[in-house]
Homo-oligomer: A and B are copies of this chain.
Amino acid sequence: MTATTTFAPLQNDTFLRACFRQATDHTPVWLMRQAGRYLPEYCATRAKAGSFMGLATNVDYATEVTLQPLERYPLDASILFSDILTVPDAMGLGLSFAQGEGPRFASPVRDEAAVAQLAVPDMAKLRYVFDAVTSIRKALNGRVPLIGFSGSPWTLACYMVEGKGSDDYRLVKSMLYSRPDLMHKMLQINADAVALYLNTQIEAGAQAVMIFDSWGGVLADGAFQQFSMAYTAQVLAKLKREHNGVKIPRLVFTKGGGIWLDEMGTLDCEVLGLDWTVNLGQARAKVGGHKALQGNIDPNVLFAPPAQITAEVVKVLESFGVPHTDTTQTGPTHIFNLGHGISQFTPPDHVSALVEAVHNHSRKMRA
């Protein structure tokens, strides 16, 4: 789509180096949902756009909001502004965002007939996403790398069956336990669609790709491996390893997945994201020998005063321990992040305290 576009050279490769377990002079930091409602400038752009999807489907607005947090904070990566439900929307499920209610599908997938109608969507329907990727990459002008992303096959299936957010996943799990054949069929289509979607983002300019398995952690042991992890593995197997001669790291984040860390360590990806329930030191001992680790401060720490935020940042950095510093080889590395998306109620100046603490203390640890 944009194979011929030439982008400015990257000035800050700290995030990408850490993804590949290469030494860096500080621990890179970015925040899940860093372009979001806690920023007044985001709310202003969203008001202009009229709605969430108005924002996500307009290339200029999507570019504007993606860059907003970089203007405020010295973050080490940017992430495409979009929604995880763009793919099922392109499948024809009719995504909308009711005021204050979160996403909703007009046509949820709840029976055999509905599953039979599913297919990998024409990527032309998602052109607004790929155009945004290219536009953001240009606007970044090499400041920091751009991460593309998708929901995992299972997480998409949760929304596709439930039709909206859920607190018990009753409908999707009913299908899983009653008709595992239908669930596998849907997940196979989702896996094929997600791989194609992420590869097209890479072609459009994404320098890393992340799979958000936001709801993998609600599954039972056994079901997680079969219905979530196996399809994430399928997506990973299909992803491009490099584009225009540059390697593209692949990140996987399963919220609540810490209990399956040993098994997730076998996934063919470069980075595992961890939520705040995970002890980073123990995770490093388990999988740090072959995976970079990303995470994992509780976003609610950002409601404490700056001094406490700094103390909690130090705890998380020290829990991981001193990352590997030998520039001649690879070793354990840490990418600082929240353990989940930032809250809309976060005071923006508290984010400054967090980012500064990560940069300062992680430099001290290496000294």
Interface residues of A (CB under 8 A from B): 167-170, 173-174, 176-178, 217, 219-224, 256, 258-259, 276-280, 296-298, 300-301, 303-305, 308, 312, 315, 319, 339, 343, 345
Contacts and interface: CB of A to CB of B under 8 A. Distances in A.
A301 B178 CA distance: 8
A285 to B, nearest CB: 13
Given A173-B298, A174-B300, A259-B278, 5 more contacts: A167-B167, A174-B303, A220-B339, A221-B276, A221-B319
Contact of A298 (B217, B223, B305, B312): B223
Chain B CB within 10 A, most for which of A224, A276, A297, A319: A276
A2 to B, nearest CB: 38
Contact of A312 (B169, B177, B300, B339): B177
A278 B259 CA distance: 7
Nearest to A257: B277
A122 to B, nearest CB: 34
Contact of A278 (B221, B298, B308, B343): B221
A308 B279 CA distance: 36
Contacts of A259: 258-259, 277-278
A173 B339 CA distance: 14
Chain B CB within 10 A, most for which of A298, A301, A308: A298
Nearest to A169: B300
10 contacts: A170-B303, A174-B303, A177-B298, A177-B300, A177-B312, A219-B298, A220-B297, A220-B298, A222-B319, A256-B256
B221 A279 contact: yes
